[in-house]
Amino acid sequence: MYLEIVSPEATLFSGEVTSVAVPGVIGEFEILNNHAPIVSLLKEGNVKINGNISLEEDVEAKFKKTDKGFWLPISSGTIEMKDNKVIVLAD
């Protein structure tokens, strides 16, 4: 599936991923390939992305690398999944 993470300053990531986990307002949830359409608010926490991920050098410092992928700390945001494309608007 295709993931795009956008902040007020810039597009932080765009590319193919195998999964993305986000801090929803009523708990963390994970989105996999071909997930049903969804729109949700996000609270403070980490956006966790998994897959064969390559980050742009100018945004790499915003992410934390783990053995399972990359984490992006956010303070709030919104997520939309539709037609196998996930868009995260992150603050």
Give residue 67's pLDDT.
87
pLDDT tens string 28-61: 999 999 999 999 999 999 999 999 898 999 999 9
Residues 80 and 86: their CA atoms lie apart, in Å, by 6
Q: Alpha carbon of 52 to those of 1, 9, 27, 36, 68: distances in Å?
A: 12, 25, 26, 23, 11
pLDDT tens string 73-88: 999 999 999 999 999 9
Task: CATH number of the domain at 22, please.
Answer: 2.60.15.10
Work out how many domains the chain is built from and give that number.
1
User: What global pTM score does this model have?
Assistant: 0.94
Residues 30 and 23: their CA atoms lie apart, in Å, by 9
Pick 68 or 13 by higher pLDDT.
Answer: 13
Give residue 68's pLDDT.
83
Q: Residue 75's domain spans which residues? A: 2-90
